[in-house]
Chains A and B, each alone.
Chain A
Amino acid sequence: MDGNLVSYGLQYAGYLIEASLILCLIASRQRKRQVPLAFYLSSLLAAEVARACVLHAYGLKSRQYSDVYWRTDFLVVISLFILVCLFFRRACLHQEKMWRYLRLWLTFICLLVVGISGLLFSHQYGNLFTDFVVEFNQNLYFTCLVLNTLLYLLLQQIDSADDQLGLLVCGVGIQFAGPAATLALVHLMTRQGFAESLFEFTIPLCTLGMLLVWAYAIVPVRGRAVVTRSKATVLAEVTANLNV
């Protein structure tokens, strides 16, 4: 019963934060810049609403809920992959040459994930669509985990002045790294019951963690200015001040 209460609490807190963040992005002054985030949050909220409706109608252990959950997860993972690609674009805003190279690389990665998931799945035929989707989701999830880590390293390498992007990437990192680390822990632990109950709460908690970090990055707070100017602009301003 307590576990159910915590689960419901996490579920509805998630919906509330997602809806609030979408409203905040719509009302934001930098609306155009935040379109990728609004797109991802909208698809996440749509998936969550569909899951909640089926969960309410059929229950947690029903085949219908399982099907809808993994199919909507496909939508969410694809949206997150697109979001990570758009974060790469934002990181390379002033470096067109690097972006041209990255664009090709990301396209190859997407095609290879589809191809390899198909190859790994080709000798098994069950519920074709759902099973392929689960295989593809898991592979794309781990690919996004690695891509997000590479993006974080890239931001450090180019010494990006976009603090908001850094926070957004860290939020995505929580979403990816938390469940992956717990999955590793589950396989190391001998007490399967405890490991499974730990894993049950990790995914919602990590999604909430990501949403809260994003809220910190997006919601304007008086006295906390988000630096979005390029390094060259800052240097030019400092030099101009020194000359005066």
Chain B
Amino acid sequence: MKNLVLTFLLALLVVLTCVSIRRMLGGNSTFAGQNSALVAIGTSPVPPPPPPPK
């Protein structure tokens, strides 16, 4: 049980760190708007990001 909680907390730490890094680099808004760049994978040309939700 103790190990399970520890594992969960470690996973939470990693995910929150990643989301913080992403928000720091990708702007403060939750969803990237027209002026933000988004990371992707592949050699196809990257389209402009989708417009932010209204």
Contact = CB atoms under 8 A, between A and B. Distances in A.
Interface in A21-37: none
Contact of B41 (A120, A139, A183, A203): A203
Given A13-B43, A131-B53, A134-B50, A109 B14 contact: yes
Contacts of B48: 61, 66
Nearest to A107: B11
Interface in A95-134: 101, 104-105, 108-109, 112-113, 116, 120-121, 123-127, 130-131, 134
Interface residues of A, number: 68
Q: Is the interface of A mostly helix, strand, loop or mixed?
A: helix
A141 interface: yes
B31 A204 contact: no
A126 B54 contact: yes
B1 interface: no
Interface string A51-76: 11001000011100111011011001
Contacts of B45: 7, 11, 55, 60, 200, 204
Interface of B: 3-4, 7-8, 10-12, 14-19, 21-22, 25-27, 30-32, 37-54
Given A108-B8, A127-B53, A207-B43, 6 more contacts: A13-B43, A61-B47, A62-B47, A73-B42, A143-B18, A147-B14
17 contacts: A14-B42, A15-B43, A44-B41, A48-B43, A61-B47, A73-B41, A105-B10, A108-B12, A138-B32, A138-B38, A146-B18, A147-B14, A180-B25, A183-B26, A200-B45, A203-B40, A204-B45
